[in-house]
Amino acid sequence: MHRNRRDLWGVWLSAGTHALVIVAVVLLAVKAPHAVRVKLPGSANGKHTLLTYSIGGQKSAAASAAPKKAAEAKVKIPTIAKVAPAPVPEAKPETEKGSGSSGVSALGSGNVRIAIVKVFPRPAPDLSSLPKGKGGNVIMDAVIDAHGVITKLTLEQGLGDPIDQQVMATVRGWSFDPATRDGQPIASEQEIVLHYERG
């Protein structure tokens, strides 16, 4: 019985000591006015922000606010300049025009098939006017009528005369199976690109 009383005193002494330590920690935390909560820069909604506690009172809070203000000063808000819309080029009456802005609607309505070249001898211009090892593209815009004949050929980009003229003279002789809509031949427009390099 004497031994049980000693064990009971040990339990009460241990519990009392632990209670005193807990009370002391809580009192120190509540009475610490110099602990300042500081919010570091983050998003405007407060997401992805870091919170830190700086011990040191008002001086520390002011010091930690300075980097925040500097970081905010570095952020530049972009401005949107007003730009006048680009002029819309005139529609070419001899070709079909689509009704929308996507590549599919550019074909127009109905079941459309593009013009397919059937006779196309490759132009072989004299490249002696080009420096050796140089080259580039000859790009032409061709309007093809409902019979598959090129009615208008416009040079968009070239290598210079006489190469461009020789290439265009040969391409004017090309013939096509005309484009069709719902099985009926229609006029169309295609870009023709030919690449040349002088060896």
Q: What pLDDT does residue 60 have?
A: 44
Which tokens go with 197?
């390099």
Residue 66 belongs to what domain range? 32-41+49-75
Q: What is the domain count for the chain?
A: 2
Q: Return the structure tokens found at 32.
A: 């610490």
- At residue 47, the pLDDT reads 45
Token digits of residue 176 = 């096509």
pLDDT reported for residue 25: 76
Does one domain contain both 63 and 114? no
The verdict on residue 70 lying in a domain is yes
Q: How much is the CA Rg of the chain, to the nearest whole Å?
A: 41
Summarised one tens digit per residue, pLDDT across range 25-41 is 777 666 555 544 444 44
Domain presence at residue 54: yes
Q: Give percent of the chain with pLDDT exceeding 70.
A: 57
pLDDT tens, position by position, 89-98: 665 545 555 5
**Do the domain assignments include residue 115?**
yes
pLDDT tens digits along 120-174: 999 999 999 888 888 999 999 999 999 999 999 999 999 998 999 999 999 999 9
Q: How far apart are CA 7 and CA 168, in angstroms?
A: 112
Answer whether the bond into residue 162 is a cis peptide, omega within 30°: yes
* Angle subtended at Cα 24 by Cα 23 and Cα 30, rounded to the nearest 5 degrees: 90
86 within some domain: no
pLDDT at position 86: 62
C-alpha 85/C-alpha 115 separation (Å) is 33
